[in-house]
Amino acid sequence: MCTGSCSKFIAVPLYVLALVSVICNIMLFFPGFETKYASQDDDGKDKLTEEVKYMGGLIGGGIMVLIPAIHIHLTSAKGCCANRCGMFLSIGFAAVGVAGAIYSLSVAALGMANGPMCLYQTDGGNSVWGTPFAGGNGSYLGDKEMWNWCKEPENVVEFNVGLFSTLLVAASLELVLCIIQMVNGLFGCLCGTCSGKE
């Protein structure tokens, strides 16, 4: 497979993964599929998990991967023989994708470790909004009994775990694909995109 065809092979999954990341991040703004938690209460605070506001899936796994994916795809647009300059530029764009994927991966891992923002009862019996699992290094993930601590939004732990794990997988795949494109771009720049067809 020549480097131009390899670029096309890499770009198409990046489109899908970027779209998945954006959708997951947008869904995280609506825990329990309700909008009321995103709006501010009387204290001027919303009830969203802090890591959702970092928009790792929207900015990192979405925009910062989508733009490189478009360029990587255009590099292969002339078929097997895109030019060496395009392949050189694809290295830089793929590096941006790597940075975006790392950002998305970090935010998703942090979101998984800290757990969701929810209404829970303290030891004193008071109901408060907060992150009851923060500081537990993700220990709640292996103990489903702890998930019942969160009373509102309904099933928020399953909601957050599902979407943040999807973001983790998508960001990991984006990272691998962008690194492969950096290597592919280097070969395309040094050796040409197809032997004998430059």
Task: For 105-152, write each residue's pLDDT tens digit.
Answer: 999 999 999 989 988 888 777 888 888 888 777 788 888 888 888 988
Look at residues 168, 149, 162, 164 and name the one whose alpha carbon lies nearest to residue 51. Answer: 164
Token look-up 């802090």 returns 50
Instruction: Count CB-CB contacts under 10 A for residue 37.
Output: 20
pLDDT of residue 195: 45
Q: Which pLDDT band holds residue 43 (cuts at 50, 70, 90)?
A: low
Structure tokens at 165: 């794990």
The lowest-confidence range among 16-20, 73-77, 94-98 is 73-77
**Partners of 127 in the beta sheet?**
121
| Closest among 196, 167, 183, 195 to 6, alpha carbons compared | 183
Residue 16 has what pLDDT?
95
Output the average pLDDT for the chain. 85
Lowest mean pLDDT among 26-35, 83-92, 115-124, 160-169: 83-92
Q: What is the largest CA-CA distance in the chain?
A: 76
User: Residue-wise over 169-188: b if at least 16 C-beta within 10 A, else e?
Assistant: ebbebbbebbeebbebbbeb
**Which of the pair, 37 or 80, is modelled with greater confidence?**
37
Residue with tokens 């030019």: 83
Residue 164 to residue 75: CA distance in whole angstroms:
32
- Half-sphere exposure of 132 toward its Cβ, with a 13 Å CA cutoff? 21
